[in-house]
Structure 1
Amino acid sequence: MNRTLDPCELLAAPGGMVDNIRERTNGQIVIEISSFPELGLAGPDTLRLVADGTLGMVEIYSGYIGGDLPIVDVANLWGVIGDIGTNWKTIEAVQGPIHKIIEERSNGIVLGESYYGNNYYYAAKALRSPDDLKGMKIRSHSTVLGDLINGMGADAQFVAFSEVYTALERGILDAAVTCGPCGAGLRWFEVADYLNGPIISIGVTYITINKDRWEEIPADLQAIMKEEAMAHQKENRRLVEAVWDPLGITENVAGGMEFVEFSPELKAALKQASINVVIPNWVDRNGGPDSEAVSMFNELVGPIVGVTIDANGKAIAN
C-alpha cells in the first residue's frame, strides 16, 4: 500500500514474510514489494488488478474496495465498536466468509491479513465535543469512515494518502483521519496541531495472490507461503496493539502535537452516528435488510457489538 506504513515495513523487513519466503524456498519464490504511489495505482482497483493478473499479489484494504464490495466492511462498521478487544472479536468472527468472498471476486487466494491501528483526527484544533466537528472538511479513506464523519456533521473528503500533507498544509482540509503511526510516518505532525481520538478502528487488509499464479506453485512451496503469511499475521496483530498504536501517540506528540482523548460525550456521539448513519447506509449499499451482508452482521457481528439490524434496515442497540 505505502512503504512508510508499519505493516508494509514488517512484510519487507529482514526476517519478515517476504525475506523468509525467499530464504525457505531457496529463492524459488521472490516477492517484489512496491506501493500504490510507485505503481500509479488506486486502492479501489486492487480487486480487478489481481483478478486479471496485472498484479501477481496484492494487499487488499477493505476500506478501498468497500464501494464495490460493501459486504467486506461487516467487521469495520466503526463508531459502534467500543474497544480493541471487541474489534478483534468482530474481525475473527467473519474471517472465513469474508476470505471466501474476496477470493471469489479477486480470482485469488487469501494467504493472511495485515492490521493497521486505531484512527485519529489530525486537526488544527482540539475536538472536545460533537459541535467541534460541525462543518469541518475531513479526509476519509473509506466509505464507512466517510459516513461516520458525515454523521458527525462534518464533510468527508476522499484524498489520496500521499496528498494529505499538502492538503492540510494549504488548508484544503481542516483535518485528516488515519492511524497514529501512519500519519507520523508522513510527518503530518508538521501540518496539524492536535491528535484527537481514537476511533476504535483496526484496519484489515487481505494479502491475496492471483489464483492462476498460485496454482503454478508446487504444493510444498505453497505450504511455506501460507505458514509465513500466518506468522506475519500473528506478529502484526501483536505489534499493532502492543507497540505501534501506543507509539503512534508518542511519535506525534514528540513531533509537536497535543493528544486530545475523546470525551465520553464524543464517544457516545460516534456510536450514535454509527447507528443512525453508518450502518443504515451500509445496509443500503448491500441491497437492503434481506441481503447476505445483513444476515452475516446479525449472526456474527451484532451479538458482539450489541446491535441488531431490523427488518427495515435500521440499526437497533440491544
Structure 2
Amino acid sequence: MRETTAAAAALLVALTGAAHAETQINVVGNLGITTQSRELERPFWEEKIGELSNGEIKANFKPFNEIGLKGPEIFRLLGTGVMNIATGQLGHSSGDVPINDATDLAGLSPTIEEFKAVTDAFRGPLTEYYADKLGLVILTMQSYQAQILYCRDELKGLADLKGRKIRSSGASQADFIEYFGGTAVAMSFGEVQQGLQQGVIDCAITGTLGGYMAKWSEGADYLYTLPVNWGAGSTMANKAWWDGQSEEVRQTIIEGLGDLEAEMWALNAKENEIGIACNTSGPCPEGEPAGMVRVDPSPEDVELRRKALVEAVLPGFKRRCGDECAGIFNETIGEVVGLTIE
C-alpha cells in the first residue's frame, strides 16, 4: 500500500501540466518505445483530442515507463484517481483480476482475426465487471502483435521449454509454460534485455516488434514464431472522474478513441510479420535486421498449443476466476472458439 501511495504521489507531479484548457485530462499511456504508442497513442492525446474538441480538451500525456511505472500497477493506480485515463495490458494485472485473462488466454487465438472476434464477444461482460467491481470504464480494447518466444539457446519446439526459465506476462502464460516443464518468471519489460544477456532467464515472451524495439536480440538468438497470445490491452477511465464530465466531453473522447482503437488493430495486424522480419533477416523499416534465427512451428506444435490450452490453461483460468466467470466465458468466448470450460 505504501508503494502504491508513493507511486501515486510521484504520478501527480509527473502529470501536472501548465495547460489552461477547459477540461484537462491526466493520461498514462502504454509502453513508450512501441510504434503503437509513438505513432498512434501519443499523437492522439497530444494533438488530435485538442482538434476534435476545438481546444476544449487538453491531455497531459506520459507513457507509463517514462514516469517510473512497471505496468502491473497501472489500473490499480487509475482506480485511486491519481490519473484520469490510462492504457495498459490486461494480462499484467490478471493475478489481481483473473477475469482479465479471459480474452487472451495462452493458446486461445491462433490468429489476430480470431483474437478480435473473441475480444468483441467478451467486451460487454468485461465492461460491466470493471464498472461494477473496480470503478473503471473501459473505453477501448486492442491487441499488440503476436506474443512469441525469444530464447538465448536453440529452440526447435515447445518440448524444448522443459527446464528453462521463461519471462511471462500474466497467469495464463505461466500455465502454458509450466505445462511444458518450464519455469515462469515474473519480470518487468524493462528488465528483460539484461536478464537475457546475463542468463537470469533463458527465454522471454513479448510482441514481435516490441521485442525488436527493446533490443532483446542482444540477449537472445532464437525467435520461435508460434503465437502464444496477443497482449490484450485496454484504455480505461476512472469512473468517478468520467461520470463527472459533461456529455459533450465524454462523447468527444469516445468517438476519438473509437477511431484510435480501429487504427491500433490495423497497425498490429500489419506489424506482426514486420516484427518477425526485423528480428531476423529483414527487410526492416524500423532499423537494421537483428539477425536472430527464425524457428517456425511444426504442425505438431500447433496441436500441442491447443492441448496445453485445454489441459492446463482453461482449468487454471477456472480455478482463479471461479465457476461464474467460467460460465460467462462459455456463453461468450466459448461460442466463438468452440470450447467449453468444464
Per the normalisation by structure 2, the TM-score is 0.84
CA distance in 2, matches of 1:99, 1:126: 42
Deviations 1:134-170 (CA, angstroms, capped at 9, x unpaired): 1011110111111111111111101100000000010
CA distance in 2, matches of 1:268, 1:127: 17
Evaluate the alpha carbon distance shift between residue 230 and residue 18 of structure 1 in structure 2; reply closer, same or farther with a 3 A threshold: farther
Q: 1:302 — aligned with what?
A: 334
Q: CA deviation at 1:207?
A: 0.8
Query: Any unmatched runs of 5+ in structure 2?
Result: 1-29, 281-288
Per the normalisation by structure 1, the TM-score is 0.90
Q: 2:264 — aligned with what?
A: 236
CA distance in 1, matches of 2:100, 2:41: 26
What is the 5 A alignment of 1:271-310?
271-287=306-322, 291-310=323-342
Say which of 235, 243, 254 aligns to 1:226: 254
SS in 1 for 2:62: coil
Identity of aligned residues (%): 29
Q: CA contact under 8 A between 1:11 and 1:18: conserved in structure 2?
A: no
Q: 2:241 — aligned with what?
A: 213
SS in 2 for 1:139: strand
Give the stretch that moved more between structures: 150-159 or 99-108.
99-108
Count of residues in correspondence between the two structures? 305
Q: CA contact under 8 A between 2:45 and 2:61: conserved in structure 1?
A: no
Q: 1:314 — aligned with what?
A: none
Q: 1:247 — aligned with what?
A: 274
Q: 1:37 — aligned with what?
A: 65
Q: CA contact under 8 A between 2:32 and 2:66: conserved in structure 1?
A: no
Q: 2:165 — aligned with what?
A: 137
Q: CA contact under 8 A between 2:108 and 2:229: conserved in structure 1?
A: no
Deviations 1:91-140 (CA, angstroms, capped at 9, x unpaired): 11101111221223332222222321101111123322333111011110
Q: CA contact under 8 A between 1:78 and 1:148: conserved in structure 2?
A: yes
2:107 is aligned with 1:75 = no
Say which of 34, 50, 53 aligns to 1:25: 53
Q: 2:83 — aligned with what?
A: 55
Provide the alpha-carbon RMSD of the alignment: 1.8
Q: 2:94 — aligned with what?
A: 66
Q: 1:107 — aligned with what?
A: 135
CA distance in 2, matches of 1:125, 1:225: 46
Deviations 1:21-43 (CA, angstroms, capped at 9, x unpaired): 12222333222222333333343
Relative contact order, higher structure (CA 8 A, sep 6+) = 1
Say which of 253, 264, 285 aligns to 2:299: 264
